[in-house]
Amino acid sequence: MDKDMSYGSDYKYIPATSIGSGVGIEVLPDLYSHTIQIVNICLVGTPKSEDFVLVDAGMPGSADEIISVTEKRFGSDHPPKAIILTHGHFDHVGAIVDLIKYWGVAVYAHEMELPYLTGKKSYPEPDPTVEGGMVAKMSPIFPNEPVQLGDHVQALPDDGSVPHMPGFRWIHTPGHTVGHVSLFREKDRVLVVGDAFVTVKQEYLYKVLTQEQEISGPPRYFTTDWKAAKESVISLEALKPSVAVTGHGLPMTGELLSESLAKLVQDFDQIAVPDYGKYLN
Ligand SMILES: [Zn+2]
Ligand SMILES: [Zn+2]
């Protein structure tokens, strides 16, 4: 059964890091964000309980770190009930095949993202010409070939619920990818964003390294539909989240979050959309 799984053909370790790498933040008692080099994974569920999920699957080669962080928080005898993917970019599925093999866990993603998770479609190549800094320039080394998860990955339920994340619903937030989703819990207005917006200027190596907190649109080198990306940010802002855990950058909360999001909606074309790049329409 494992034979039908593989990483993208161009997967490799990416030598990029940040001061947050290896550090975890307990954002809420049941919401834990951990940084793998330059991307965050998120564990949702109360520590030591058997009911928890992992959101996203880190960088290539990070399986051991993800397993150890998870076992430290939830114990080694309870695997996560599911892995939810916000989207299938290499930095969000980097350890997924190893994790499925280790835990035998079910994986869920938006239906429109499934071709990129089952080896059928490659993502558009990252754009090194896009307006931005060193990370944009080095983006050609980023893998864009799809993982093959076979029937280990399933579509998220049509009713908007998120398996094993009671109280959360998934929100389709396309633009960065076609099947991108964010996860929202009404009762305390928690938002697990993915890359629909991020809190660090991900195109700039220095800002990634220092994790200087600053609201930003989706990482530019991989974003292909800016009109949809803007609509997605507008819909997330309308939820008035009180806590946002993003795929890149530090978690943002409270007034800083609401003011930053309002600003991002207001000035999306200046803040988020690059002045030049090959995916501008
Ligand atoms: Zn991405
Ligand atoms: Zn990302």
Distance (angstroms) between ligand 1 centre and the Cα of 189 equals: 23
Q: Which ligand has the shortest distance to the CA of 224? A: 1
Does residue 240 carry a pLDDT above 60?
yes
Average pLDDT score, the chain: 96
Give the ligand whose atoms come closest to the C-alpha of residue 87: 1
Distance, CA 48 to ligand 1 centroid (Å)? 30
Say whether pLDDT at 4 is over 90: no
1 pLDDT exceeds 70?
A: no
**Distance from the alpha carbon of residue 4 to the mean position of ligand 2, in angstroms:** 25
Q: Using the mean position of ligand 1's atoms as its centre, give its distance from the Cα of residue 79 in Å.
A: 25
Instruction: Give which of 156, 50, 15, 30 is closest to 42, Cα–Cα.
Output: 30
- Asked whether residue 151 carries a pLDDT value surpassing 90, the answer given is yes
Determine the pLDDT at residue 49: 87
Ligand 2 centre to CA of 60 (Å) is: 12
Ligand nearest 38 Cα, by number?
Answer: 2
Is residue 211 pLDDT above 60, yes or no? yes
CA of 87 to the centre of ligand 2 (A): 8
d(CA 59, CA 44): 19
What's the chain look like in SS3?
CHHHCECCCCCCCCCCCCCCCCCEEEEECCEEEEEECCEEEEEECCCCCCCCEEECCCCCCCHHHHHHHHHHHHCCCCCCCEEECCCCCCCCCCCHHHHHHHHCCEEEECHHHHHHCECCCCCCCCCCCCCCCHHHHHHHHCCCCCCECHHHEEECCCCCECCCCCCEEEEECCCCCCCCEEEEECCCCEEEEECCCECCCCCCHHHHHHCCCCCECCCHHHCCCHHHHHHHHHHHHHCCCCEEEECCCCCEEHHHHHHHHHHHHHCHHHHCCCCCCCCCC
Query: Measured at the alpha carbon of residue 153, what is the angle toward residues 234 and 114, in degrees to the nearest 5?
Result: 50
Give yes or no for residue 194 having a pLDDT over 80: yes
pTM for this predicted structure: 0.97
State the average pLDDT over residues 233-250.
98
* Ligand 2 center to 198 CA (angstroms): 9
Predicted local distance difference test score (pLDDT) of residue 48: 82
Q: How far is the CA of 254 from the centre of ligand 1 (A)?
A: 25
Supply the pLDDT for residue 3. Answer: 60
**pLDDT reported for residue 85:** 98
Closest ligand relative to 198 C-alpha: 2
Distance 235 CA to ligand 2 centre (A): 20
pLDDT per residue as tens digits for the range 88-147: 999 999 999 999 999 999 999 999 999 999 999 999 999 999 999 999 999 999 999 999
**pLDDT tens digits for 9-57?**
999 999 999 999 999 999 999 999 999 999 999 999 999 889 999 999 9
Tell me how far the alpha carbon of residue 248 lies from the centroid of ligand 2, in angstroms.
6
Averaged over 257-273, what is the pLDDT? 97
Q: What is the mean pLDDT of residues 156-179?
A: 98
Distance 123 CA to ligand 2 centre (A): 13
